[in-house]
Amino acid sequence: MIQALSASFKALGDPIRLRLFALLGQHKELCVCHLVDALQLPQSTISRHLSVLRHANLVVTRREGKWMYYHLCGDLSAQIVVILQKQESPQIQQDLKALHNILTSYKF
């Protein structure tokens, strides 16, 4: 258990991964394209950071055609999301607002 916890905290030790994790914690599932648009970072950067979170067993993937969707998994992820929500980080709030605008513009 200690090793898994250590891997999780190590994976979350990067500001970009923490931002991605916070966004995923607010939605059931998100496409990589939504995360790219919200964080205004290259797709390769987002995918690399999501891969680290996946290998730490914090997120899982689902493929639909050419799109890859991510969502959080496990009790530890849920507990970490609660901690992040209490922090009220201006950066995370900005990311959430950008993501909200992106998601509402995709709806028909």
> What is the pLDDT at residue 18?
92
pLDDT of res. 84:
78
Q: What does the mean pLDDT of the chain come to?
A: 89
**CA distance to 28, 66, 107, per residue, from 21 (Å):** 12, 22, 23
Q: Mean pLDDT over residues 87-107, rounded? A: 85
Angle at 62 between CA 78 and CA 1, to 5 degrees: 40
Quick check: helix, strand or coil at residue 89?
Answer: coil
Which pLDDT belongs to residue 107?
A: 60
Angstrom CA distances, 31 to 4, 10, 38, 101, stand at: 26, 24, 11, 15
Name the pLDDT band for 108 (thresholds 50, 70, 90): very low
The pLDDT tens digits for 9-54 are: 899 999 999 999 999 998 889 999 999 999 999 999 999 999 999 9
User: Can you spell out the DSSP letters for 41-87?
Assistant: --HHHHHHHHHHHHHTTSEEEEEETTEEEEEE-HHHHHHHHHHHHHH
What gap in Å lies between CA 96 and CA 87, rounded to an integer? 14
The answer to whether domain 2-106 has CATH 3.50.50.100 is: no
Give the global pTM. Answer: 0.85
Task: Work out the pLDDT band at 81, boundaries 50, 70, 90.
Answer: confident
Q: What is the mean pLDDT of residues 79-92?
A: 81
